[in-house]
Amino acid sequence: MTRVSLEVNGKKTSIDIPDNTLLSTFLREHLNLKGTHIGCDTSQCGACVVIVNGKTVKSCTMLALQAAGSRVETVESLCDDGKLHPMQRAFHEYHALQCGFCTPGMLMTAVALAKKGKEIDELSVRTELEGNLCRCTGYQNIVAAILAGAKKMRTQT
């Protein structure tokens, strides 16, 4: 057992965990943050994407100890006091989700892309989403939602 200390969704936490604990397991089982989905355990689907120090990470392939001292953002960080994040609203408005399993990873990837501060286009969104799989909706509505959500995020700052 090793103590890991990090900041998750703006809250500092310090917990003793087995050395081989994946970040996804740490978030789901030790912090009860169930929004980070585990779809494949092999880094293929992207349902487990979180943001670590401003960069997207597939949390099923990172040990929690590797995130020690880091700032981690999960999908739970997007909703502010019951108010949906602009990207969440865009996913709803553009019908960019169906079963919802891939949605947390898609949202975190989209938010990280939008936070880069650059104007984004369809090609950059599609390129960024290459590591995220959706088996239900197809990508057209997801791409449209990300473009709309990113635009809304730019106008709010």
Q: Which two tokens stand for residue 23?
A: 């970040």
Confidence of residue 62 (pLDDT cuts 50, 70, 90): very high
Give me the residue spans of the domains in the chain: 2-77, 86-156
Residue 14 · residue 4 · CB < 8 Å: yes
CATH T-level assignment (fold) for domain 2-77: Ubiquitin-like (UB roll) (3.10.20)
For 10, left (φ over 0), alpha (ψ -120 to 50), or beta? Answer: left
Over the chain, what is the mean pLDDT? 93
Q: What is the pLDDT of residues 128-144, one digit of tens each?
A: 999 898 888 778 999 99
What superfamily does domain 86-156 belong to in CATH? [2Fe-2S]-binding domain (1.10.150.120)
Query: Tokens 């990207």 — which residue?
Result: 87
Fold match between domain 2-77 and domain 86-156: no
pTM above 0.95, yes or no: no
Supply the DSSP string of the chain, one letter for each residue: -EEEEEEETTEEEEEEE-TT-BHHHIIIIIS--TTS--S-SSSSS-TTEEEETTEEEEGGGSBGGGGTT-EEE-GGGT-BTTBPPHHHHHHHHTT--SS-SSHHHHHHHHHHHHHT-S---HHHHHHHGGG---SSS-SHHHHHHHHHHHHHHHHH-
Higher pLDDT, 139 or 110: 110
Q: What is the pLDDT of residue 157?
A: 57
Residue 80 · residue 89 · CB < 8 Å: no
Diameter of the chain measured on Cα atoms: 46
Beta bridge partners of 18: none
Average pLDDT over residues 31-48: 90
Counting every residue written for the chain, the total comes to 157
Q: What is the pLDDT of residue 31?
A: 97
